[in-house]
Structure 1
């Protein structure tokens, strides 16, 4: 299998450089009557940076991350970082969980033990999973691609090789959200014989509906989605425009400024989470900063945003998915898909609407997420 054990070990010099950059931040002016519609507020970000400098302990977070079994392996010439924790019950189901942007493998950290050892948390031991959480190429501790082509469909092929050739599974489960939803769907589309089922918390932006020229063919729900999606794209999708057209230009500023990196990431966490405009209603400061640190310490903000360019310019069309599919929609996620469109395009056998939670599902509502994963796969075990 040629797997290498991996531990996160950030040199002191890198942390010292970060501290120096934070101390020498040049802050922009903010209008006195400005509100969050213009982006991340200066006062909150300054308070968070103060904690980053004087209260946050990376070494404690590093130790906690290293409490999970991590590996690296080379697939098609690129080293992929992943967590691999074995389940405790009889015949655990292997499941690969794929994150998105601007989150990281940290998205699923809270649920690892709950899935590998459900009995420990009052669950059914027969619901246990082998949990595999890779970092997307160009994200975190995976290698940065040196050439173009790393879109969702290509990553799906890497994940199939990881699960079959490197880890030895003949059939497996898969789940994901955001970019992870797209990667998971391409695995199911192109390798239906390997997937026992897929679990999705979104289906991305449905461009077939967003760009539909003939509205007479749309249902009431699909028309409502189109209107909502158009409004969202106009007000919230500036990041998509730049990341899918000129990611390199964006990269210079964000790669040089930790505060810039934090602002770019955390504004999305605030906008897309069920936090009522206050990030710390849903996350601790340590969670927020550890996710930012995974980008900063590895200098992967620039390489991560390139996947938007790839998906815009080289992604093959998505066909009908026949693999059994579970959909779990969290109440405050962005652009919730119409049920009828979803059923037409995926083999939906499980549909759940969560009473709360936003886009970063397993970080925000780990118990709801785990409960639904177990419920969906309980009848699909091989």
Structure 2
């Protein structure tokens, strides 16, 4: 039975001119280090081997200070529809876009780190009201994770992925969606996996770009491509995951820099957009500069650099090894994502895979990098999920 929606309230946030002026003043007064000492000076991945190159950062900081306009993003969120509700004592912000179609299916979208609901703003309208009547339509709900954006910051420990998944079920029920589909990437993929495994009575099926098999599986029987995926994942966690270990062990320490310095926050986030995107040099080859700054500015204005980092402290390596997902599942492995799960490993956890997609392009942020393809792929995957549910 649907729950009453009286606990859900419309929400609007407006940064003051003084806040935006202070941001620009801090950017103007920033103290920057010397240029990186790298072997590769020309365009290419080698130019980023010590992190964000000074010349790139200076260019983005200058645009952030003199050319970027925050107001259109505020207005975009309002047009989609912003709301808040309190769950287990914590205020949760979410976007909610109901479809005009009578046959629409509720769809929950969960973002990750270092992104936010900004990950989905360019695809929500197409998912809710497709131009082609033959395409499926969805009532789209996109919450801000606890400690992210306009959701409250947890004041105690305990808000890990299991609790977040349970909160999302409560949220959807308050909106009258007792049965729904779920999609996510990054932490959103982890939470989507928990949703599918723990709440099969509410979750019709899932789509994720971040599948995780149980730990300790053998590489025996994997194809050469799948073995390469496994090796790339091991290399990532051995040599390129210092950010995760820092946030999993000392989020408060890095949090001071992320909340106090807009340049520090920008560099910390921009580094990941660059490394995890399907690009040869700059993330702006595929993702608009404004959209990245929308994301970073949202972190800045809400002072959530530390609180968002704590999801690693709460949940790093915490996915239950015994958790199995028996609802229909659609999995997509984008070629330049940082982790790609071999299908035999995925099948050990997701036991009803009804769609397995291997796009030719795209990285960790497909809704931002390849939004039109992302929408098509998500529709196809969820169509397969719904067909399996109907059988």
TM > 0.5 fold call = yes
Q: Paired residue for 1:131? A: 140
Taking the aligned partners of 1:304 and 1:103, their CA distance within structure 2 comes to 10
Q: Paired residue for 2:13? A: 8
Q: Does 2:369 correspond to 1:364?
A: yes
Taking the aligned partners of 2:57 and 2:219, their CA distance within structure 1 comes to 46
In the superposition, the TM-score normalised over structure 1's length comes to 0.93
Q: Paired residue for 1:253? A: 257
Q: Paired residue for 2:189? A: 181
Structural mapping, 1:144-159, within 5 Å: 144-159=153-168
Taking the aligned partners of 2:54 and 2:27, their CA distance within structure 1 comes to 14
User: Which of the numbers 22, 25, 45 marks the counterpart of 1:20?
Assistant: 25
Taking the aligned partners of 2:18 and 2:219, their CA distance within structure 1 comes to 61
Q: Paired residue for 2:63? A: 51
Q: Does 2:103 correspond to 1:91?
A: yes
Q: Paired residue for 1:233? A: 237
Shift of 1:259: 0.4
- Asked whether the equivalents of residues 219 and 227 of structure 2 are also in contact (C-alpha less than 8 Å), the reply is no
Taking the aligned partners of 1:33 and 1:337, their CA distance within structure 2 comes to 32
Shift of 1:217: 5.5
User: Which of the numbers 99, 105, 117 marks the counterpart of 2:117?
Assistant: 105
In the superposition, the TM-score normalised over structure 2's length comes to 0.91
Classify the secondary structure of the residue corresponding to 1:133. Answer: strand
Q: Paired residue for 2:354? A: 349
CA gap 1:371/1:247 in 2 versus in 1, 3 angstroms: same
Q: Paired residue for 1:65? A: 77
Classify the secondary structure of the residue corresponding to 2:56. Answer: helix
Taking the aligned partners of 1:378 and 1:31, their CA distance within structure 2 comes to 48
Q: Paired residue for 1:320? A: 324
Taking the aligned partners of 2:287 and 2:77, their CA distance within structure 1 comes to 17
- Asked whether the equivalents of residues 178 and 203 of structure 1 are also in contact (C-alpha less than 8 Å), the reply is no
Cα RMSD after superposing both structures: 1.9
User: Which of the numbers 215, 231, 234 marks the counterpart of 1:208?
Assistant: 215
Taking the aligned partners of 2:95 and 2:257, their CA distance within structure 1 comes to 31
User: Mean alpha-carbon deviation: is it higher for 304-313 or for 154-163?
Assistant: 304-313
Q: Paired residue for 1:169? A: 177
Taking the aligned partners of 2:196 and 2:73, their CA distance within structure 1 comes to 34
Residues 182-205 of structure 1, C-alpha deviations (whole Å, 9 max, x = no match): 11111111111111110011225x
Shift of 1:68: 1.4
Taking the aligned partners of 1:314 and 1:97, their CA distance within structure 2 comes to 21
Unpaired runs of 5+ in structure 1? none
